[in-house]
Amino acid sequence: MTIVLLLVGGLLALVIGAEWLVRGAVRISDQLRFPPVIVGLTVVAFGTSAPELAVSAISASHHDSELALGNVVGSNIFNVLFILGLSALILPLTVHIKLIRFDVPVMILVTVAACALTFDGTVGRLDGMLLLTGLLIYTVWCVLEGVREAKQSPANLPGMQLPAGPSSDQLPAVTACNLSATESKDGSKATTGVRRKTGFSLLLVLTGLGLLVLGAEWLVDGASSLARRFGISELTIGLTVVAAGTSLPELATSIVAALRGQRDL
């Protein structure tokens, strides 16, 4: 019973923590006026992978390398086979040429590179640095491409002008005194509102991080206990139960996107 509570409680904490972390981070990014494309490629992308990161990091700190590796490999298999397959059943997906020419080859290359790094039987710090460097290069490239595409969108093309508004002689007269008073009141209210929103968003981020760490601890403890209880290797538990559980945010996002007809997402 304790094992079940640890597994279920850990999964719930991971899912809720990831949701709050992403929601708070997106709100802070909006308040700082970051471009939406950068938010999507960084905050949202990394946030949905937060459960896998938390579980693998906690597993590694507990010297459960099999559970950490099993979670990473199993999550990728689950994402491609189950989530992509289920999304395609709900709504046939349109595959853009950019995905075929760049993103899919990158995914295959990364998989091959990760396999090559395990040939010596370990994934050491140097291997980790190489993988993180590759992630940094890919993320920077995606952000630059996203910004370039955003600048080329119809709304930003030259010649696109807003409809003409009323001329100055049609506007009501505003005295300097009234204008100053109005700006002062509006500015004070706006500043207070922004501070409250930022504080709440920061609270969401911190609470989400706390739930991620707590959920990862519970899930790792439950998975390790389950493996010992039934004589199953931690690698098998990581490839199946833990991998499926940590992929729940991606599963929920993909299903909702498919039901709404958002094929690209």
Whichever domain contains 82, its CATH number is 1.20.1420
Residue 21: domain span: 2-151+194-259
pTM of the model: 0.71
Burial class from Cβ neighbours inside 10 Å (0-12, 13-18, 19+) for residue 227 reads: buried
Assess if residue 184 is contained within a domain.
no
pLDDT of residue 156: 52
Assess if residue 21 is contained within a domain.
yes
Mean pLDDT of the chain, nearest integer? 79
DSSP state, 156?
G
Assess if residue 80 is contained within a domain.
yes
pLDDT of residue 126: 93
Mean pLDDT of 193-208: 81
User: What's the number of domains the chain is made of?
Assistant: 1
Could you tell me which residues come within 8 angstroms of residue 223 by beta carbon, excluding any fewer than 6 positions away? 7, 67, 234, 237, 238, 241, 242
pLDDT of residue 11: 87
The dihedral through the CA atoms of 80, 86, 89, 91 has a sign that is negative
Mean pLDDT of 138-148: 83
Could you tell me which residues come within 8 angstroms of residue 236 by beta carbon, excluding any fewer than 6 positions away? 70, 227
Pick the residue with more confidence: 73 or 168? 73
Check whether 186 has a pLDDT greater than 60: no
Mean pLDDT of 94-116: 87
Is there a contact between 229 and 58 (Cβ–Cβ < 8 Å)? no
Pick the residue with more confidence: 250 or 51? 51
Is there a contact between 209 and 17 (Cβ–Cβ < 8 Å)? yes
- Phi/psi of residue 130, each to 5°? -65, -45
pLDDT of residue 168: 44
Mean pLDDT of 141-155: 74
Instruction: Read off the pLDDT band of 23 (50, 70, 90).
Output: confident
Identify which of 26, 87, 107 has the alpha carbon closest to the alpha carbon of residue 260: 87
CA distances (Å), origin 124, targets 9, 15, 43, 129, 260: 31, 29, 27, 9, 43
Instruction: Read off the pLDDT band of 179 (50, 70, 90).
Output: very low
Assess if residue 164 is contained within a domain.
no
